[in-house]
């Protein structure tokens, strides 16, 4: 066997070091060869009677071991996969069974198999760097940790905490990981190995000595029913991996024999791997990876990285953007015409940092440093040294155009001029300046700190270098960009709107708010559409609907219930009432009075939840197909990735276009056509779908 992915060295002190260093790659991953190599190295270590201990390290800049090589796993047959899983379990078992103490010295991401190998060690030390993250995110891919992770983690940190981490696929940074017990000590990167050697002195972890004793034999009896109910309520049976992971964790914790527990892990992953939902989740993972690294071929983004930015408008979005940028090391000017809004914006930023410290995302020191990188400005300041300006003032074309005209005089020729507008035309805005080629949309979603997607909107006159630079900037600040051509509503809001207005229309026609929302929760959306309208605000939803219906009058309109709600002052959560009544504690119940706003003209026969969900989902598919046909984005994957990341569209369905493929274009078109005849022209299927139905094509051909 050629040894090439891991270096094995022995010091004179009897301490062995295994360094993961996959050649020609920024990442370490586990494939079959690497596992076999690890197994051979471990056998050599085990044979050394004078060995004192073993330290596992990585030579990479930002990755310990990123997990399994998903590209390889995706191609495996069920039989090959079973062999591969068993090999990993055996090798990690070899590591756990060494009679010498073992320490994983983690710098960078130790995820999935990368953390399971660390779990098979006695101790774990990690660097505090931002790139260091640990955890078992397998359920996010429709899989479960099956190299001992589902069994060993509950033994290390207890069943409740292990369940919380594994079922949600969380991957905390070093500090929260230390608090949870996922790692034992945080040490600066340069001292990692020394610290690891010091941990060897503690000997074997007490857990490995009581090897196969159950950590808590009453687990199943005491907490299992409660957890099962909770998981069932949260997943609605849509995420089999979460259920299987739950069984594996609870079963593993209560099992006397590790062998049984590991067998259970193997069986569970074997059942999951071929399912459509796992396939879709894995594809989404690849789409996200693509968004992280993608660039326009042959277009330079310029030499200089964006280091300082001005944010114009210190409201909800401006403050959120300023905080995010400052936390990533940028110097930021936060400007507003209203001094009280500047102060309020800075208070919002302060609140976000405080919350970050509480969640151990930052140290106090980092939070203070981040906060002090923002300079508040209530009067005009020179912006000539800014690399980027992001305008996040009120959503009015004339206000924004005035801001951009003024910017013309106070920024340099190099400055990228961006707007955070949710719907206004970038091209029209750019026309107000002397440098339309430098104007672009950088559309963050709310709340900025938790939404990963950013739409980069390219106006008709935007220069390709500026698009490249904006996309690179979004990638560098740790968000996921999708490049979209300027068009009303851009991509995400454009596809979301027909869905929201359909929900409102179904309500108008007699369906209850609960029925409409539950239908979509059953479908897999994270929140029902009517509750989402309440969150967004009926006024804003009506505005967006008006803008989009002006652009696409044949398919879109403002449902009558929205002006009704607005007239009644029931704007949604911010007003305490909308489709629901909201109380101060964020609890909500249906607003029975909203039903009185129905015009009553078109009551429909009650529809089942499936039928309700079907109508709403079909309209998303249809609009997504229109966007693709208009060339707003390059590929179906862009649409699906953006809808899942930006709206939480049922991830296991892979996005609206992937879902359309699973239904088949013929069925989609057939049902849309039937609805168009019976219930309204807005169901008319998109010509692209019609053509696909005729030719039997799919959005994803492979
Ligand atoms: P907001 O109303 O909270 O804040 C707007 C701020 O702009 C106010 O503080 C106002 O004083 C300031 N402002 C107005 N004219 C100004 C000028 N000439 N110069 C400097 N500051 C000025 O609004 P929000 O929600 O933060 O929205 C800002 C932009 O972001 C809008 O274009 C909106 O469409 C967009 N957006 C909003 C999202 C949301 O969920 N709130 C999501 C994504 C985009």
The predicted structure's pLDDT at residue 353? 98
Query: Using a 6 Å CB cutoff, which residues line ligand 1?
Result: 312-318, 335-338, 341, 392-395, 399, 403, 420-422, 445-446
Q: Is residue 443 flagged as an active site residue?
A: yes
pLDDT above 70 covers what percent of the chain? Answer: 95
Nearest to 264 by CA among 146, 152, 162, 141: 146
Q: How confident is the model at residue 274 (pLDDT cuts 50, 70, 90)?
A: confident
Q: What are phi and psi of 588, to 5 degrees?
A: -150, 150
| Mean pLDDT (whole number) for 540-565 | 94
The predicted structure's pLDDT at residue 208? 54
Distance 386 CA to ligand 1 centre (A): 20
Q: Which of 41, 155, 205, 443 is catalytic?
A: 443
Characterize 327-355 residue by residue with b for buried, 16 or more Cβ atoms within 10 angstroms of its Cβ, and e for exposed.
Answer: beebbbbbbbeeeebbebbbebbeebbee
Residue with the two structure tokens 């459509």: 276
For residue 442, give every residue at least 6 positions away whose Cβ sits within 8 Å of its Cβ, in sequence order, or none: 390, 418, 419, 420, 454, 455, 456, 457, 470, 473, 474
Distance 404 CA to ligand 1 centre (A): 14
Least confident of 75-79, 139-143, 216-220: 216-220
Distance 396 CA to ligand 1 centre (A): 9
The predicted structure's pLDDT at residue 303? 66
Question: Taking 60 as the threshold, does the pLDDT of residue 1 lie above it?
Answer: no
The whole-angstrom distance between residue 51's C-alpha and the CA centroid of its chain comes to 44
Question: Taking 90 as the threshold, does the pLDDT of residue 478 lie above it?
Answer: yes
* Token pair of 34 as six digits: 């690497």
Least confident of 96-110, 230-244, 251-265, 681-695: 251-265
DSSP, collapsed to helix, strand or coil, labels residue 359 as coil
Question: Taking 70 as the threshold, does the pLDDT of residue 213 lie above it?
Answer: no
The predicted structure's pLDDT at residue 210? 44
Q: Which atom of ligand 1 is nearest to the CA of 419?
A: 32
Beta bridge partners of 95: none
* Mean pLDDT for the chain overall: 93
CB atoms within 10 A of CB 122: 25
* Domains assigned to the chain: 6-274 (3.90.226.10), 308-485 (3.40.50.720), 492-695 (1.10.1040.50)
pLDDT above 90 covers what percent of the chain? Answer: 81
Q: Which atom of ligand 1 is nearest to the CA of 341?
A: 9
* Token pair of 67 as six digits: 């997990």
Sign of CA dihedral 423, 428, 429, 430: positive
Distance 95 CA to ligand 1 centre (A): 55
Nearest to 542 by CA among 560, 555, 530, 525: 560
Tell me the pLDDT tens digit for each residue of 119-150.
999 999 999 999 999 999 999 999 999 999 99
User: In what helix (H) or strand (E) does residue 176 lie, and over which residues does it extend?
Assistant: helix 174-180
Nearest CA to ligand 1 atom 38: 446
d(CA 559, CA 545) in angstroms, rounded, equals 8
Distances (CA, A) of 276 to 121, 281, 282, 565: 34, 9, 10, 41
Least confident of 281-285, 486-490, 594-598, 604-608: 604-608
Kindly give the pairing relationship between strand 331-335 and strand 308-312: parallel
Q: Which atom of ligand 1 is nearest to the CA of 335?
A: 20
The predicted structure's pLDDT at residue 226? 82
* Best residue among 343, 394, 492, 548 to mutate for probing ligand 1, ranked by most atoms within 8 Å of CB: 394
Nearest CA to ligand 1 atom 44: 422
d(CA 332, CA 334) in angstroms, rounded, equals 6
Tell me the pLDDT tens digit for each residue of 554-591.
999 999 999 999 999 999 999 999 999 998 887 889 99
Question: Taking 90 as the threshold, does the pLDDT of residue 304 lie above it?
Answer: no
Q: Give burial (CB, 10 Å; 0-12/13-18/19+) of 430.
A: buried
Question: Taking 70 as the threshold, does the pLDDT of residue 116 lie above it?
Answer: yes
* Best residue among 314, 381, 393, 539 to mutate for probing ligand 1, ranked by most atoms within 8 Å of CB: 393
Q: How many residues does the chain have?
A: 702
d(CA 687, CA 212) in angstroms, rounded, equals 62
Tell me the pLDDT tens digit for each residue of 369-378.
999 999 999 9
Contact 262, 151 (CB under 8 A): yes
Whether pTM > 0.75 for this model: the answer is: yes
* Best residue among 323, 340, 392, 540 to mutate for probing ligand 1, ranked by most atoms within 8 Å of CB: 392
CB atoms within 10 A of CB 373: 17
d(CA 139, CA 269) in angstroms, rounded, equals 10
The predicted structure's pLDDT at residue 212? 41
- Interior CA angle at 688 toward 682 and 689, to 5°? 70
The predicted structure's pLDDT at residue 221? 59
CB atoms within 10 A of CB 410: 15
Kindly give the pairing relationship between strand 15-20 and strand 6-10: antiparallel
Kindly give the pairing relationship between strand 580-582 and strand 588-590: antiparallel
């Amino acid at each position: 066997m050629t040894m090439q992915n891991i270096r094995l060295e022995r010091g004179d002190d009897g301490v062995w070091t295994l360094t993961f260093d996959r050649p020609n790659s920024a990442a370490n991953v586990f494939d079959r060869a690497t596992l076999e190599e690890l197994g051979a190295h471990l056998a050599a270590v085990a044979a050394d009677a004078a060995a004192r201990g073993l330290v596992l390290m990585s030579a990479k800049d930002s990755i310990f071991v990123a997990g399994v090589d998903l590209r390889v796993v995706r191609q495996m047959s069920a039989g090959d996969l079973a062999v591969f899983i068993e090999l990993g379990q055996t090798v990690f078992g070899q590591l756990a069974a060494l009679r010498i103490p073992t320490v994983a010295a983690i710098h960078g991401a130790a995820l999935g198999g990368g953390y399971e190998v660390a779990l098979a060690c006695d101790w774990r030390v990690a660097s505090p760097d931002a790139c260091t993250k640990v955890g078992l995110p397998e359920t996010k891919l429709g899989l479960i940790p099956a190299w001992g992770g589902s069994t060993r983690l509950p033994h290390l940190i207890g069943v409740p905490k292990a369940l919380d981490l594994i079922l949600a696929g969380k991957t905390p940074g070093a500090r929260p990981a230390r608090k949870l017990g996922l790692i034992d000590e945080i040490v600066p990167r340069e001292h990692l190995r020394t610290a690891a050697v010091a941990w060897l002195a503690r000997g074997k972890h007490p857990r490995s000595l009581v090897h196969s004793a159950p950590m808590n034999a009453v687990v199943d009896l005491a907490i299992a029913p409660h957890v099962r109910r909770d998981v069932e309520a949260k997943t609605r049976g849509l995420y089999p991996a979460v259920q299987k992971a739950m069984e594996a964790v609870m079963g593993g914790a209560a099992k006397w024999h590790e062998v049984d527990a590991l067998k259970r892990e193997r069986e569970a992953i074997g059942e999951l791997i071929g399912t459509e939902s796992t396939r879709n989740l894995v594809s989404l993972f690849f789409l996200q990876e693509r968004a992280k690294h993608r660039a326009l071929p042959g277009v330079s983004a310029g030499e200089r990285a964006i280091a300082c930015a001005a944010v114009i408008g210190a409201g909800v979005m401006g403050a959120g953007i300023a905080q995010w940028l400052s936390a990533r090391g940028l110097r930021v000017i936060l400007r507003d015409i209203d001094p009280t809004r500047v102060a309020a914006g800075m208070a919002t930023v302060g609140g976000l940092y405080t919350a970050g410290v509480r969640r151990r995302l930052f140290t106090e020191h980092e939070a203070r440093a981040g906060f002090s990188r923002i300079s508040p400005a209530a009067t005009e300041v020179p912006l000539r040294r800014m690399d980027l300006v992001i305008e996040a003032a009120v959503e009015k074309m004339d206000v924004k155009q005035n801001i951009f005209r003024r910017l013309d005089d106070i920024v340099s020729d190099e400055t990228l001029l961006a707007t955070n507008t949710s719907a206004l035309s970038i091209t029209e805005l750019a026309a107000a300046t002397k440098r339309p080629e430098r104007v672009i949309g950088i559309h963050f979603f709310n709340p900025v700190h938790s939404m990963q997607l950013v739409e980069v909107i390219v106006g008709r006159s935007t220069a390709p270098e500026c698009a490249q630079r904006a996309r690179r900037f979004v990638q560098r600040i740790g968000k996921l960009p999708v490049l979209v051509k300027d068009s009303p509503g851009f991509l995400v809001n454009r596809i979301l709107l027909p869905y929201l207005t359909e929900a409102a229309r179904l309500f108008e026609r007699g369906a209850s708010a609960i029925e409409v929302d539950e239908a979509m929760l059953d479908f897999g959306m994270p929140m029902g559409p009517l509750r989402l309208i309440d969150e967004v605000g009926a006024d804003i939803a009506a505005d967006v609907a008006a803008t989009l219906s002006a652009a696409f009058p044949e398919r879109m309109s403002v449902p009558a219930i929205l002006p009704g709600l607005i007239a009644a002052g029931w704007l949604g959560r911010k007003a305490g009432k909308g489709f629901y009544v909201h109380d101060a504690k964020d609890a909500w119940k249906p607003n029975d009075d909203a039903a009185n706003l129905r015009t009553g003209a078109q009551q429909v026969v009650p529809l089942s939840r499936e039928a309700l969900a079907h109508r709403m989902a079909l309209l998303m598919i249809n609009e997504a197909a229109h966007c693709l046909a208009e060339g707003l984005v390059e590929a179906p994957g862009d649409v699906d990735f953006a809808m899942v990341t930006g709206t939480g569209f049922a991830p296991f369905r892979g996005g609206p276009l992937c879902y359309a493929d699973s239904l088949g274009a013929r069925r989609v078109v057939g049902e849309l056509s039937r609805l168009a005849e019976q219930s309204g022209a807005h169901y008319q299927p998109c010509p692209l779908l019609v053509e696909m139905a005729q030719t039997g094509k799919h959005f994803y051909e492979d």
